[in-house]
Amino acid sequence: MAAPSAKQSSLMSKGTDPQSAIKRLQAELMTLMISGDSGISAFPEEDDIFHWRGTINGSKGTVYDGMIYKLSLSFNIDYPFKPPVVKFESPCFHPNVDLRGNICLDILKDKWSSAYDVRTILLSIQSLLGDPNNDSPLNTQAAELWSDPEEYRKMVEKHDRPT
């Protein structure tokens, strides 16, 4: 495991110990690896347990079927008491995803619980793809098109290219 970064060292000197977050993330990685969940995966980037790359496959029976999306997950040393920052790295035309990849999902904000884990996050985002919350869209164009499945599908195919 790499030495703590300057930011982590600074936080440690203020009394925050990243060891509990590191142990939790290592346990979650093992759980995710043995879960056998179809269509989701995530691993730390190189030797940095606080920065992960995730992959989500679009669910069957949705306009996202056959699409593969890459995500970044950035964890704070206060994890699991604070949610990670999760963003789409692949283009994703969706009512709850803005053009910069930010995701509007309550469990990543005010509904976060330390009981959630990486697996829950990935499954929730995968579910969100086929069942958006049009009451709080980040992409109003996608929200407006959602009610027209054929036009919406065309836009997804134009905007989102398999990666």
For residues 52 and 75, the answer to whether their CB atoms sit within 8 Å is yes
Cα(6)–Cα(127) distance, rounded to whole angstroms?
Answer: 37
For residues 97 and 103, the answer to whether their CB atoms sit within 8 Å is yes
Among residues 22, 92, 103, 104, the one annotated as catalytic is: 104
104 assigned to active site: yes
Burial class (CB in 10 A: 0-12, 13-18, 19+), 59: middle
Hey, CA dihedral for 74, 80, 82, 83, is it positive or negative? positive
User: How many other C-beta atoms can be found within 10 angstroms of the C-beta atom of residue 133?
Assistant: 13
Per-residue DSSP letter, 2: P
Q: Would you please indicate which residues are annotated as catalytic (active-site) residues?
A: 104
